[in-house]
Amino acid sequence: MRPPLDLSLYLVTDTRLCGDRGVAATVAAAVRGGVTAVQLRDPGADARALFSLGRAIQGELHGTGVPLIVNDRLDVAVWLGADGVHLGQRDVSPEVARRLLGPDAYVGLSVSRAEQLAGVTDAVDHLGVGPVFPQTTKPDADEPIGLDGLARIVRESPLPCVAIGGIGVAEVAGVMGSGAAGVAVVSAVCGRPDPEAAARSLVHVLRQEASA
């Protein structure tokens, strides 16, 4: 069995924000800066384009020990032989994902309300909780739950939680104070001129919080 996923600094890709640098190069830089997990997310890409992008990212991640998780698209995760999949509440069930990806895969599930915890099964490894703060990278996201909402879900969850939504360096301390296992970021890395330096800044604050 694989060890639990290191959720401390979880990068979710955004093709538009990565711009001319490209997603794969952005991922490579972010991993050098300390990113511990990468989620491939591009809802506008078709299966062929997403598969090609996933292959390029896998090339950059080879030998780093950093896993690649595919957002929503279980079919692409299977084709890539990815390390796991992250599912929304309206996606294919985690049980199906577990059956197709196997016992060693990482299966994450998005949660935005404490009531959704009742539907979490042992097919899921960890939860993505949010959006915590207002954000602009996912137009169809639920309303922000704030730190109080995050803390409630973390407190009631049987699984480790990674917080997502509007999180940058300034928000890390409050998020980690809620008991979250880590932070998931998009624009705080993908939207920066130097993704490696941006990741290092986040890691610095995360280490400060861990030692406090």
pLDDT of residue 142: 73
Residues marked active site are found at 41, 110, 138
What's the whole-number average pLDDT of the chain? 95
pLDDT of residue 208: 93
Question: Degrees (nearest 5) of the Cα angle 15, 126, 118?
Answer: 115
pLDDT of residue 66: 98
pLDDT of residue 162: 98
91 is in an annotated binding site: yes
187 is in an annotated binding site: yes
3-class DSSP state of 34: coil
pTM for the model: 0.96
110 is in an annotated binding site: yes
pLDDT of residue 141: 62
pLDDT of residue 134: 86
111 is in an annotated binding site: no
Which of 116, 187, 186 is CA-nearest to residue 157? 116
Cis amide prior to 131 (ω within 30 degrees):
yes
Does the structure show a pLDDT above 90 at 3? Answer: no
pLDDT of residue 143: 86
Of the CATH numbers 1.10.1060.10, 3.20.20.70, 1.10.3720.10, 3.40.50.300, which one belongs to the domain with range 9-211? 3.20.20.70
pLDDT of residue 184: 98
pLDDT of residue 212: 73
Distance CA 192, CA 187 (A): 7
Q: How confident is the model at residue 137 (pLDDT cuts 50, 70, 90)?
A: low
Does the structure show a pLDDT above 80 at 117? Answer: yes
Mean pLDDT of 40-56: 97
Distance CA 140, CA 207 (A): 32
More confident residue, 124 or 212: 124
pLDDT digits (tens, 9 = 90+) for 7-22: 999 999 999 999 999 9
Distance CA 199, CA 9 (A): 8
pLDDT digits (tens, 9 = 90+) for 178-193: 999 999 999 999 989 9
* CB contact at 8 A, 1 and 167: no
pLDDT of residue 138: 67
Does the structure show a pLDDT above 90 at 149? Answer: yes
pLDDT of residue 2: 78
166 is in an annotated binding site: yes
